[in-house]
Amino acid sequence: MASLERVRQGLESSGQGHVLQFWPELSEEERDAFLQELGQLDLQGLRDHCEGAAKAAASPPDSLDRHIEPVPSEFIGSVRKSDRKSLAEWENEGLLHISKNRVGVLLLAGGQGTRLGVQYPKGMYSVALPSGKTLYQIQAERIRKVQEIADRKHGSKCTIPWYIMTSEFTLAPTEKFFEEKHYFGLEPTNIIMFEQRMIPAVTFDGKVILQGKGKVAMAPDGNGGLYKALMDNKVLEDMKRRGVEYLHVYCVDNILVKMADPVFIGFCVSKGADCGAKVVEKAYPAEPVGVVCRVRGVSQVVEYSEIRPETAELRGPGGEMVYSAGNICNHFFTRTFLQDVAEKFEGQLKQHVALKKVPYVDACGNQVRPTKPNGIKMEKFVFDVFPFSRNFVVFEVVREDEFSPLKNADGAATDSPTTARNSLLAQHCRWATSAGATLLDEHGNTASVSAGDTNPAQCEITPLVSYFGEGLEQLLKGRTLKTPFYLDEKKAKELQAE
C-alpha cells in the first residue's frame, strides 16, 4: 500500500491537498481503505486531469458547420435501401463467421442508471413485459438463438463469447445476478466480465470532490474507457486465444438490440471495414442524437450541440435530411483495429465534459446533495475512435425494429420503461401479423399493429423461438390469437403439434 507521506506529497503537488482535510477524524479502518483508494489514483496525472476538466467545462463547444459533410453513399448500407439480394448475402456472410467462432459481442454496462432512478445495474431492469424478462435475459436469449441459427445452417457447434464491461458500481451485482440466473442458459466460461477505470469528479475550479470524509467522488471514465480496459484486463488476449476476429459492441439499454447481427457483421466484413456504425434516420432535425458524418474528410460522430440548427435542417434534392445518420451506439470493430487503438491511439482520445450533480461533504464535514450540477465528470466516448479507422462504413437500420433505449424513469416523454416495453410489444405484434396471424385485443377486436403504436397489444415472442421475426409463419399462419399472448418454447411446441 502507498505510504501516507507519498500520497500527501502527490496530492499537494497537484493542488489537491484538501483531499486529506478530514484524515484526523477517520478510524483506523477508514484510513486504510482511503489510503488504498488514493494509492490507485494517478497522482502524476491528477493536476492535468483537474485543470483540463475545469478548462473544458468553461469553453463552449466548437461549431463544426464549416467542416462537415455526409458520409459518401458508397460507404453506406441500408436495411431499407439496399437490395434484397445484398441483404441476404450479407446475412449469410455474417452467419458463416458466427459458425466459425469468429464473432464476439461486447456490452458497455458501466453506467449507474441514475436517470432511470434505480440503485442497481440497468441490465437487471425489467420493463414489465408479460414474461417479466430483464434486459440481460433478453440479450442472452438472442445470443443463444443466433448461435442456433448459425449452427443449423452450417452444421456447427459455435460460440459467441459475451464480453461485458462493468464498473466499480456494476461488477459485483452483475456477477451475482448472472450466477443466480444460471447465466440464462449460456456457458459461464463464455461470459467475460471486466471493469473500466474510475476517475475523480472535479469542481468547476478544478478541485477533486470528496464524496465522504474518507472517499473521493469517482465516476466511470465513459464508454470510451473501453480501450484502456481491454488492455488493463487482457481482454484482447482472450479474444485472440478464442479466435474472435469481429466484435459487435453495443450499449446495455437498447431493448431492441440485434445481438451479433449477422446482416451488419456480414456487410462490414464484405466491405473490408475495420470499423462500422449502425445508424437510424433522425426523427427530426433537432433530435438530440449525435450524427455520423465526416469532419475535414474524417469519419466521426458530431454531437448535436456542435451543429447549428440551420445546418441540422439542411435538406437534399429529394427533401431528405442531409445529416440524418443518428448514432445509436451499435458498432462493429475488427479485433486488430481494437488492438491498434489500445496500443497506439488510446492516449489521443478526446475528453468530453459531463456536468453532474455530485453528492459531497462540505468544509464542515456535512453531507450535501446538490440540486444543480456542481461537478464535472470527464468521459471518453466509444465512437471517438472512428477517425483512426482506415475503412469506416455505416449501416442504416429501421428505428422501430432496432432502437429503443431505456434512459429515463417512467413519466418522461421518451426513452422510458413504458416506451421501451411498447417498442418491443409493437415489434412482436408486427412479426405475428406478417406471419399471417390475426391478433385480438382484450375486447375481442382486431388489434392495431402500426409502427410506433403507443398502446400495442400484449404480444410477446421469446428470442428462443424467433431472433428477428423468422420462422413464425409455420407456427402462426391463419391463427387468431387472443392477447395477452406469450409465445415461449413450450407454446411453440404445442402449436407445432396441432
Asked whether residue 194 is assigned to any structural domain, the reply reads yes
Q: Which residues face 165 on adjacent strands? A: 108, 194
In this predicted structure, what is the pLDDT of residue 64? Answer: 72
User: Residue 1: is its pLDDT beyond 60?
Assistant: no
pLDDT at 220 over 90: no
**331: in domain:** yes
pLDDT at residue 448, as a whole number: 76
Report pLDDT for 486. Answer: 96
Same domain, 387 and 488: no
CA distances 155 to 96, 104, 147, 149, 160, Å, are 11, 19, 11, 10, 16
Do 41 and 81 fall within a single domain? no
Query: Residues 471, 347: one domain?
Result: no
Average pLDDT, the chain: 92
Helices vs strands, H then E, count in the chain: 15, 24
Share of the chain above pLDDT 70, in %: 98
Same domain, 183 and 149: yes
Residues 319, 462: one domain? no
Who's near 471: CB < 8 A, 6+ residues apart? Answer: 465
Would 72 be classed as within a structural domain?
yes
pTM of the model: 0.92
DSSP-assigned letters across all residues of 62-89: PP-GGGEEPPPGGGEEETTTS-HHHHHH
Whether 393 and 484 share a structural domain: no
Examine residue 316 and state whether it is found in any structural domain, yes or no: yes
Task: Give the residue, 418 or 205, on which the prediction is more confident.
Answer: 418
Q: What pLDDT does residue 214 have?
A: 93
Q: What are 299's strand-pairing partners?
A: 294
Per-residue pLDDT tens digits for 304-344: 878 888 889 999 998 999 999 999 999 999 999 999 999 99
Structural domain includes residue 287: yes
Same domain? 169 vs 189: yes
Segments in 296-357 forming alpha helices (H): 309-312, 335-340
Among 368, 402, 436, identify where a domain stops: 402
Please indicate, yes or no, if residue 93 is contained in any of the structural domains.
Answer: yes
Last residue of a domain, one of 17, 34, 58: 58
Non-local (6+) Cβ contacts of 60 within 8 A are none
Which position has the higher pLDDT, 168 or 396? 396
Answer whether 90's CB lies under 8 Å from 77's CB: yes
382 and 296 share one domain: yes
Domain residue limits at 446: 425-497
Note whether residue 407 is domain-resident. Answer: no
User: How far is the CA of 397 from the CAs of 256, 273, 394, in angstroms?
Assistant: 12, 18, 10
Please give the grid coordinates belonging to residue 296.
475535414
461 and 342 co-located in one domain: no
CATH number of the domain that residue 457 is part of: 2.10.10.100
Percent of the chain residues topping a pLDDT of 90: 69
- Is 69 found in the same domain as 48? no
CATH number at residue 387: 3.90.550.10
Q: Quick one: 333 and 383 in the same domain?
A: yes
Counting the structural domains of the chain, the total is 3
Look at 484 and 442; give whichever has higher pLDDT.
484
Q: 293 and 328: one domain?
A: yes
Whether residue 413 is contained in a domain is answered as no
State the pLDDT at residue 51.
Answer: 79
